[in-house]
């Protein structure tokens, strides 16, 4: 019989433990970017849930963030500090991230524990409520059935988690419904609906004569005629055919997520990105381009977060009656106009109505004449316009995402704003209709096309 000495078995175990520790450290090191992104995303999202939307951050974490954590959810910890109005997150005590709320400016991802830029925030005047506090329940059974369809959960494995649906017909609020904990005044993350709002703010500057779509983009880093970026126009940034790369790809780490969560100055990062194509020659989904458009808005309004927010409220939100809208900023004070706006479903519907009415609200011209038609005019051979998606292409798929361009069940003149996780502002001129759907649909479809088709059928059917 062979007997192992105590030293004999300890050495292999010690070697094994060292090897395991080294392997774990290597995995962490190789995935450090994704881990930094995860904690920053959680901190920012839950900060906005607690202090902007004023909904349960724990529920938002469970529905929106935890399913995206790819196995690290059990190691991720967050704390919501209500007195300090901030959220901190980490993974096993590492990769710490902090997001801080500022009045009127939303939540800011902080890079370190230094002072908070514009910490006092922005005191904003209240905007009148055009619709009243009561939820408008549709009297029409067919409309009620369409809302039932919007909130249905046909696949429990891939829940839709619809939070709000609002229907405007002929400019009137005819139907709305909300999930428990949400209501007419709950600001909800619009994701890339924000891009369409950024397109409107650029439109305001065009109406004021301060920008022209066809001009070279006024980006300081691109000033030299020798720079390949110099030829990129404002129009090409709006249309996403600037030549900047398709920047929102599968997986947690890509140029977009790095820009949002790791860069203090998002526009400076976007300006450094090399072109993947000659300007005007190819379409590629571009958060980078909308970061640069956001910097143009900031440059025209004083270069501060408060200045850009005041401009948005004075020129867009207040005239439309968008009571809860806020676009978050980066640490340099630039609006995160590629994807970080919060507003109620009613607010987003009012925004859609502006485009249905060719940029006029209550008799006041907000956008240049024809700006809405420009927004839905086709870019190259795609289903994208200039800041909005269109229904002009119903064959082929969006590159990289393998998603449909449009909604074939809806009229060809329909155009729409679309954001991640199932955010939609659907505008149907031929039906004089705006439908907003907001939710947290991480996988699978939302059924939005069928819902809007059902609403159109309900509104236009012959009376019995």
pLDDT in tens, the chain (464 residues): 333 344 455 565 555 544 444 443 444 534 789 999 999 999 999 999 999 999 999 999 999 999 998 889 889 999 999 999 999 999 999 999 999 999 999 999 998 888 999 999 999 889 999 899 999 999 899 999 999 999 999 999 999 999 999 999 999 999 999 999 999 999 999 999 999 999 999 999 999 999 999 999 999 999 999 999 999 999 999 999 999 999 998 778 999 999 999 999 999 999 999 999 999 999 999 999 999 999 999 999 999 999 999 999 999 999 999 999 999 999 999 999 999 999 999 999 999 999 999 999 999 999 999 999 999 999 999 999 999 999 999 889 999 998 999 999 999 999 999 999 999 999 999 999 999 999 999 988 999 999 999 999 999 875 54
CATH code for the domain defined by 141-460: 3.40.710.10
* Domain boundaries, given as residue ranges, for the chain: 34-110, 141-460
Q: How far apart are CA 247 and CA 249, in angstroms?
A: 6
- If you write DSSP's letter for every residue of 369-422 in order, what string do you get? TTHHHHHTSPPTTSSB-SSSEESS--SSEETTTTEESS-TTS-TT-EEEEETTT
How far apart (Å, rounded) are the C-alpha atoms in residues 432 and 445?
Answer: 25
Please check whether residue 16 is in contact with residue 10, taking contact to mean a CB–CB distance below 8 angstroms.
no
Give pLDDT, residue 12: 59
DSSP 91-152: ETTEEEEEEEEETTTEEEEESSSSPPTTTT---------SS-SS----SSHHHHHHHHHHH-
453 by DSSP, 3-state: which?
helix
Residue whose tokens read 């906005």: 48
Contact criterion met (CB below 8 Å) for 424 and 418: yes
- Determine the pLDDT at residue 13: 54
pLDDT of residue 8: 55
Predicted TM-score (pTM) above 0.85: yes
405-412 contacts at long range (C-beta below 8 A, 24 or more positions apart): 407/448, 407/449, 407/452, 408/449, 409/449, 409/450, 409/453, 410/449, 410/452, 410/453, 410/456, 411/456
Other Cβ atoms less than 10 A from the Cβ of 75: the count is 14
**Torsion-angle region of 87 (φ positive above 0: left; ψ -120 to 50: alpha; else: beta):** beta
Interaxial angle between packed helices 255-262 and 287-300, expressed in degrees from 0 to 180 and rounded to the nearest 10: 40
Contact 235, 386 (CB under 8 A): yes
Instruction: Tell me what pLDDT residue 31 has.
Output: 79
- For residue 71, what pLDDT is reported? 81
Q: SS3 of 316, please?
A: helix
| Biggest alpha carbon–alpha carbon distance for the chain | 98
pLDDT for res 281: 98
The rounded distance, in Å, linking the Cα atoms of 259 and 292 is: 12
How many Å apart are CA 384 and CA 216, to the nearest integer? 21
Predicted local confidence at residue 235, as pLDDT: 98
> Do 122 and 306 form a contact (C-beta atoms < 8 A)?
yes
Q: Nearest CA to 297 among 325, 324, 327? A: 327
23's CB contacts (< 8 A; 6+ apart) are: none
């Amino acid at each position: 019989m062979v007997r192992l000495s105590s030293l004999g078995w300890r050495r292999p175990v010690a070697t094994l433990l060292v090897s395991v520790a080294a392997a774990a450290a290597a995995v962490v090191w190789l995935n450090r970017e994704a881990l930094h992104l995860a904690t920053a995303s959680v901190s920012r999202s839950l900060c906005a849930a607690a202090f902007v939307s004023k909904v349960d951050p724990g529920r938002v974490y469970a529905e929106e963030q935890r399913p995206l954590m790819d196995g690290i959810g059990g190691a991720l910890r967050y704390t919501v500090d209500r007195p300090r109005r901030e959220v901190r997150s980490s993974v096993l005590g590492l990769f710490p991230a902090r997001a801080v709320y500022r009045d009127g400016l939303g939540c800011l991802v902080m890079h370190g524990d230094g002072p908070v830029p514009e910490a006092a925030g922005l005191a904003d005047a209240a905007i009148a409520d055009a619709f009243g506090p009561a939820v408008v329940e549709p009297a029409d059974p067919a409309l009620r059935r369409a809302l039932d369809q919007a909130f249905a959960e046909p696949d429990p494995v891939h829940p839709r988690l619809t939070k709000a649906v609002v229907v405007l017909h002929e400019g009137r609020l005819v139907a709305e419904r909300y999930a428990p904990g949400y209501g007419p005044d709950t600001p909800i993350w619009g994701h890339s609906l924000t891009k369409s709002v950024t397109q409107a703010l650029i439109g305001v500057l065009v109406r004021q004569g301060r920008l022209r779509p066809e001009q070279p983009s006024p980006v300081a880093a691109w000033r030299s005629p020798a720079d390949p970026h110099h030829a990129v126009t404002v129009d090409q940034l709006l249309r996403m055919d600037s030549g900047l790369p398709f920047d929102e790809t599968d997986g947690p780490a890509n140029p977009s997520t790095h820009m949002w969560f790791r860069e203090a100055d998002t526009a400076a990062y976007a300006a450094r990105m090399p072109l993947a194509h000659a300007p005007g020659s190819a379409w590629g989904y571009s958060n980078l381009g909308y970061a640069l458009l956001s910097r143009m808005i900031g440059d025209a309004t004083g270069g501060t977060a408060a200045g850009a927010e005041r401009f948005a409220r004075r020129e867009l939100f207040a005239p439309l009656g968008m009571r809860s809208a806020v676009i978050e900023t980066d640490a340099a004070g630039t609006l995160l106009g590629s994807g970080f706006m919060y507003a109620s479903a009613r607010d987003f519907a009012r925004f859609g109505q502006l485009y249905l009415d060719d940029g006029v609200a209550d008799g006041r011209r907000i956008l240049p004449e024809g700006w809405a038609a420009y927004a839905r005019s086709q870019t190259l051979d795609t289903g994208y316009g200039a800041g909005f998606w269109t229904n002009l292409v119903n064959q082929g798929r969006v590159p990289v995402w393998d998603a449909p361009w449009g909604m074939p069940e809806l009229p060809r003149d329909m155009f729409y704003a679309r954001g991640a996780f199932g955010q939609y502002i659907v505008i149907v001129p031929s039906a004089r209709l705006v439908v907003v759907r907001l939710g947290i649909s991480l996988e699978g479809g939302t059924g939005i096309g069928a819902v809007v088709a059902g609403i159109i059928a309900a509104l236009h059917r012959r009376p019995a």
